[in-house]
Amino acid sequence: MDNTPKIILYTIPIAICLLLCNQAIHLHHIYQQEKTRYQNTRNNNLKNTLYVFHMKAANKDDICSFNANTLELKFLINKNFFAYKLDPQKDIQTITRQADYDIRDPKRWTLENFANYFKENHDLTQTWTASLQFVLTDSTGNIKDSYPRSVNKIPATPEYIDTLGFLTRDILYATYDYPLAAFVQTAAWPIATTLFISLLLAFCVIYLYLNYRNEKRQRENQKEYIDSIVHDLKHPVENQKHLCYLLPHLSKEEQIEQAEKNRQELNNMLHSINRMLLRSTDAHGIVLTPKTFNLQEMLETVTAPDRWNTPPGKSFHIRLHFNTPDPMISGDPDFLQAVFQNLIDNSLKYSGEEAEIDITCTAPDDKHARITIKDNGQGIPSRELRHIFERYHRAQHQGDKKTKGHGLGLYQSRQIIIAHGGKINVDSTPGNGTTFTITLPRTTKRQKY
């Protein structure tokens, strides 16, 4: 058995998983980039606002001066004078800004006032401000203040850190979340592309699996079908061969009995050949070879009682009503005969002990012929009617091993009728039988369907 479909079935999902992983990594990379850009923007807002707030919260009585030539920093705080010699390696601008914090008014410079001032001077989203948290520690790491929630430990991974003051060396920590909505808004196209690719790949996997399952079931049904065909053809051929040896030695009554058995077996062989013809439509398509033939003669042939075998105790009557003056139509007689035989076979198979089948041929107009096949069988439930022309569907007999069939006959019959440019419809009521109506054009062109 060829393992190529199975290998493909396993290989493609692996490739799809790798592609999805690649897309996930790509999205994560975009997420990190957007998060870094977002944090840089927010941190710059915090830094600039912090410097302005230092100035606004400064004590008016305190003085701060800096001599760039001597690198000397002087403070007058609460009438006490302080002077410091600065290291030339230090960032003088940063130190000057930090010094502003040292001369703040403690009543005005609080985390709560700073947070409110920050929110008032920036157009902030509710999502971001809801997660914003400030923590202020002294130079030894002890928490001096926190806002808006009281915390008892320094954030492990703060988004923003700033040293406040040259003298006190207080440290400000700020933490906030990167809102998912911001990422979705900035990376909408990559996310949409990834989702589209994911859905497309998922659809491909599902389609591949269903196709593989159908192909596997088709191979199983094909094997079962071929085995049954071989059995149906082999048995009557062997009997015919055996009869050639026995016939001269049998009595007249035995010859008649044996001839009847052979007739039934030859009928089975003929039916098997017609099923093989129907089955060929799946393997090679339907290549029609249309020619003009007598539809009435064909229907009389397929409805002849001696053409059908029934189990013991079952009787049947097939009545033909040909109500059109012109019996000649153009089509492929081999395919059409196989279709009529399949429909009659179904009527016999699904009828009771006394099968009544009426076949009527009419002419709805000059260009069409209409054939109806009506039986008194068990009928088809309404929920099954829409599926009876589907491949492998056997209606209420799905999974029934006692009733022979593969669920292909009606599907293949419909394909043949459509290839002729015709239509086939079904009407059925449980307990009141089933009626198939076939409409065929009187002229069919040579084509492959």
So where are the chain's domains?
Answer: 44-183, 285-441
Query: Is residue 129 a contact partner of residue 101, using CB atoms and an 8 Å limit?
Result: no
**Across residues 247-252, what is the average pLDDT?**
74
Distance CA 299, CA 322 (A): 9
Among 10-14, 169-173, 298-302, where is mean pLDDT lowest? 10-14
**Across residues 180-201, what is the average pLDDT?**
78
Q: Which among 139, 85, 137, 76 has a CA at the least distance from the CA of 103?
A: 76
Looking at residue 400, the DSSP 8-state letter turns out to be -
Residues whose CB is less than 8 angstroms from the CB of residue 370 and which lie 6 or more positions away in sequence, other chains included = 361, 362, 363, 364, 437, 438, 439, 440
Distance CA 396, CA 383 (A): 10
Supply the mean pLDDT for the chain: 78
> Global pTM?
0.46
Residue 426, SS3 per DSSP: strand
What's the helix, strand, coil split of the chain in %, to 5? 50, 20, 30
* Residues 369-425 pLDDT 10s: 999 999 999 888 888 888 888 876 655 544 444 445 445 778 888 988 998 899 999
Q: From residue 101, give the alpha-carbon distance in Å to each of 48, 161, 166, 331.
A: 14, 15, 8, 100
* Tokens encoding 365: 């107009």
Sign of the Cα torsion 185, 190, 193, 198 reads: negative
- Where are the alpha helices (H) located in 83-154, listed in sequence order? 92-102, 111-120, 126-131
Percent of the chain whose predicted confidence (pLDDT) is above 90: 18
Distance CA 159, CA 41 (A): 11
The domain 285-441 is classified under which CATH number: 3.40.50.2020, 3.30.420.40, 3.30.565.10, 1.20.120.160? 3.30.565.10
pLDDT for the residue numbered 398: 43
Q: From residue 224, give the alpha-carbon distance in Å to each of 221, 230, 325, 404.
A: 5, 10, 44, 11
Query: Is residue 139 a contact partner of residue 170, using CB atoms and an 8 Å limit?
Result: yes
Confidence band of 435 (pLDDT split at 50, 70, 90) = very high
Omega into 311 within 30° of 0, i.e. cis? no
* Tokens encoding 223: 């094997």
Confidence band of 158 (pLDDT split at 50, 70, 90) = very high
Distance CA 103, CA 116 (A): 21
Distance CA 294, CA 302 (A): 13
Distance CA 183, CA 374 (A): 66
